[in-house]
């Protein structure tokens, strides 16, 4: 779980904006998201449903359904090249080969009518045309073994429905990593599984990350999962990143009131008192259609000030690679200026 010294950045997301056009207005699902992930690093993207974390991953893979969705701005640099500028044919070579994705429900990416062997061999040969069928089969068996499928030589000839949910998830991870992808996007990879299987799958992803140096972006709503797996964390709210820090720093000094609420709502075995009610953040996430220029968390925030209701907070660097977007960390002069500007704009 620790980043190697001199690890190279493998993926840089800069000011990514993905909008959806709906009859009710424009949904700014991802609005100015930026982060960098290095080889061998695990980044957690955390937030409630609708915060934009899954759309961020789908945008990186360029799998946004269009229409109604569109990546309207920003860059996604893979090894320095902006993959948002690639043709669809060029993007197909990146997808699966260099950047792979595992989804919440394995059945969405496994074909129920084809044997696992057929699907894995096809994936490997699609990205490595020089590989023979025999070599692809051997590689597939090796990957199934790596992810802990018992008797892989025999099980590879099964159909997806002949596996349990946890085993299907392992097959999907094996398939996603069979082409030695450098970045693995895991979107709530354990949500559909029971707790013991969840732990096994997360352990497996961590093992592969350590063994193969794969950079992992883990999308989850569960800060407990992040604590055990990630090097750093981006907390998302209403389409934007509101706080970024190393996992250790985020738990030690959560700075955004939303992050504080998320951490408080994780059940703790060590400090919980008998019959104590679990903390929950009051209110609902905002409707992200045509959001006004304010802190979208203000209706739920107990520390909200006047400026929070009129202007979006800029990013404040707290040092130690810790950044937060919250007016609590800006000086009085900056707040007054923002309030004056907002009042003028509202009058205009």
**Residue ranges binding ligand SF4 (CB under 6 A):** 256-257, 295, 297-298, 301, 303-305, 308, 313, 326-328
Of 3 and 304, nearer to ligand SF4 (C-beta) is: 304
Q: For the CB of residue 308, give the shortest distance to ligand SF4 in the complex, in Å.
A: 3
Q: For the CB of residue 83, give the shortest distance to ligand SF4 in the complex, in Å.
A: 33
Of 188 and 260, nearer to ligand SF4 (C-beta) is: 260
Find, among 48, 69, 44, the residue nearest to 59 by Cα: 69
Q: For the CB of residue 303, give the shortest distance to ligand SF4 in the complex, in Å.
A: 4
Q: For the CB of residue 283, give the shortest distance to ligand SF4 in the complex, in Å.
A: 12
Q: Report how far residue 314's alpha carbon sits from residue 216's, in angstroms, rounded to the nearest whole number.
A: 28
Whether the CB-CB separation of 316 and 299 falls below 8 Å is answered with: no
Of 152 and 286, nearer to ligand SF4 (C-beta) is: 286
Strands (E), the chain: 9-22, 25-38, 42-46, 69-78, 81-82, 99-102, 183-187, 215-220, 232-237, 240-246, 315-319, 322-325
* C-alpha distances in Å from residue 164, one per residue of 16, 168, 233: 37, 6, 31
Q: For the CB of residue 329, give the shortest distance to ligand SF4 in the complex, in Å.
A: 8
Of 40 and 254, nearer to ligand SF4 (C-beta) is: 254
Of 99 and 342, nearer to ligand SF4 (C-beta) is: 342
In 128-271, which ranges are continuous DSSP H helix? 133-146, 152-155, 165-177, 195-212, 223-229, 247-252, 257-264
């Amino acid at each position: 779980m620790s980043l190697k010294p001199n690890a190279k950045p493998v993926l840089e997301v800069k000011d990514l904006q993905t909008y959806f056009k709906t009859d009710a207005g424009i949904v700014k699902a991802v609005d100015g998201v930026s982060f960098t992930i290095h080889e061998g690093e695990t980044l957690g993207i955390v937030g409630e449903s609708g915060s934009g974390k899954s759309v961020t991953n789908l945008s990186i893979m360029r799998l946004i359904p269009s229409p109604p969705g569109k990546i309207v701005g920003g860059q996604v640099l893979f090894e320095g090249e902006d993959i948002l500028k690639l043709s669809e044919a060029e993007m197909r070579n990146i997808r699966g080969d260099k950047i792979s994705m595992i989804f919440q429900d394995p059945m969405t990416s496994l074909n129920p009518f084809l044997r696992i062997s057929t699907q894995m061999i096809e994936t490997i040969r699609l990205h490595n045309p020089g590989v023979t069928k025999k070599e692809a089969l051997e590689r597939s068996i090796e990957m199934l073994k790596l992810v802990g499928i018992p008797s892989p030589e025999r099980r590879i000839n099964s159909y997806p429905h002949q596996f349990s949910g946890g085993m299907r998830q392992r097959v999907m991870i094996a398939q996603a990593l069979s082409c030695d992808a450098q970045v693995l996007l895991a979107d709530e990879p354990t949500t559909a599984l029971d707790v013991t299987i969840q732990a096994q799958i997360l352990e497996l992803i961590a093992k592969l990350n350590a063994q193969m140096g794969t950079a992992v972006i883990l999308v989850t709503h569960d800060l407990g999962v992040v604590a055990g797996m990630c090097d750093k964390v981006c907390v998302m709210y209403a389409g934007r990143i509101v706080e970024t820090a190393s996992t250790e720093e985020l738990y030690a000094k959560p700075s955004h009131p939303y992050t504080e609420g998320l951490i408080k709502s994780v059940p703790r075995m060590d400090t919980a008192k008998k019959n104590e009610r679990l903390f929950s953040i009051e209110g609902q996430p905002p409707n992200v259609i045509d959001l006004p220029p304010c802190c979208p968390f203000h209706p739920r925030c107990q520390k909200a000030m006047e400026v929070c209701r009129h202007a979006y907070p800029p990013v404040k660097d707290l040092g130690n690679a810790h950044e937060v977007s919250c007016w609590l960390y800006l000086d009085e002069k900056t707040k007054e200026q923002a309030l004056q500007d907002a009042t003028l704009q509202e009058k205009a």
